[in-house]
């Protein structure tokens, strides 16, 4: 395996990881911000209040986008196998 192939595989890995993590991270970030604004407005300073909404949104995103995520992982795995066979 050449250095170019290794760098290409590394690039594909990082792009795929970013594609898969971005929807969940962005949704949890937005919910965390909204809950924080709610806590400031109501002066409720409970640390565990943010946990349940973030968890619920993360699970919802996984349910909604799970098929797309698995398809992306499958395409990534097939491309890696193709690269390793063609060497």
Burial (CB count <10 Å: 0-12, 13-18, 19+), residue 61: middle
pTM for the complete prediction? 0.81
Residue in this structure with the two tokens 């098929």, named with its chain if needed: 67
Report the C-alpha gap between 64 and 23 in whole angstroms. Answer: 11
Report the C-alpha gap between 18 and 24 in whole angstroms. Answer: 10
pLDDT tens for the chain, 87 residues long, are 788 888 999 999 999 999 999 999 999 999 999 999 998 898 888 878 889 999 999 999 999 999 999 999 999 999 999 988 876
Q: Do residues 22 and 52 lie in contact, with contact meaning Cβ atoms separated by under 8 Å?
A: no
């Amino acid at each position: 395996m050449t250095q170019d192939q290794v760098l290409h595989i590394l690039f594909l890995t990082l792009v795929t990881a970013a594609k898969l993590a971005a929807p969940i991270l962005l949704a949890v970030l937005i919910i965390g911000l909204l809950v924080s604004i709610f806590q400031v407005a109501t002066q409720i300073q409970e640390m565990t209040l943010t946990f349940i909404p973030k968890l619920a949104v993360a699970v919802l995103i996984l349910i909604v986008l799970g098929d797309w995520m698995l398809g992306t992982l499958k395409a990534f795995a097939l491309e890696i196998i193709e690269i390793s066979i063609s060497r």
